[in-house]
Amino acid sequence: MENQKNEMTITRVFDAPCNMVYKAWTETDQLAIWWGPKGFTNPVCEIDLRPGGEILIHMQAPDGTIYPMSGMFKEIVEDKLIVFTSAALDVNSQPLFEVMNVVTFTAEGNKTKLTLHATVSNIRPEAAPYLAGMNEGWNMSLDRLNELVIALNK
């Protein structure tokens, strides 16, 4: 993480309407395409999009290593807001840390301003490598999201 508060905010503008960007976050077939760093795939991508619903994604690195993450949706406002927790899991499926993610979608004409604010808590010592790459990982994921919405918007 970049600062002492274990918080991160990333803002991006996508050349696509809010409903398209929102769907890329909330429809499993689209989410599986862009979630995770460049070169990763998501052989498991399950979401139950409702408050209290779970999210489970197994990110697979190019070397075949699986990085499972789970979480829970807290608040959903269609085309406007997604609040969810997420946690990278260790080999025993125990959380290495917890992240509260707040994703907002704001219309700017035909474009979407997306703001992701992540706050990390309950950090275990072995989580350091994951957290060191969190900002870069999210930026790579959002690059992939941008590629997807450009392709869908053609």
Q: What DSSP element (H or E) covers 133?
A: none
What is the tens place of the pLDDT at every residue in 8-44? 999 999 999 999 999 999 999 999 999 999 999 999 9
* CB burial readout 44-71, b (16+ within 10 A) else e: ebebebeeeeebebbbbeeeeeebbbbb
Is the pLDDT score of 2 beyond 60? no
Contact predicate 139/10, CB 8 Å = yes
Structure pTM? 0.92
List of domains in the chain: 7-152 (3.30.530.20)
pLDDT band for position 5 (cuts 50, 70, 90) = low
Would you state the pLDDT for residue 130? 83
Nearest to 41 by CA among 22, 21, 64: 64
Query: Cα–Cα distance between 78 and 17 in angstroms, integer?
Result: 13
Spell out the alpha helix ranges (H) of 6-133: 18-26, 28-34, 128-132
Return the amino acid letter for 148. L
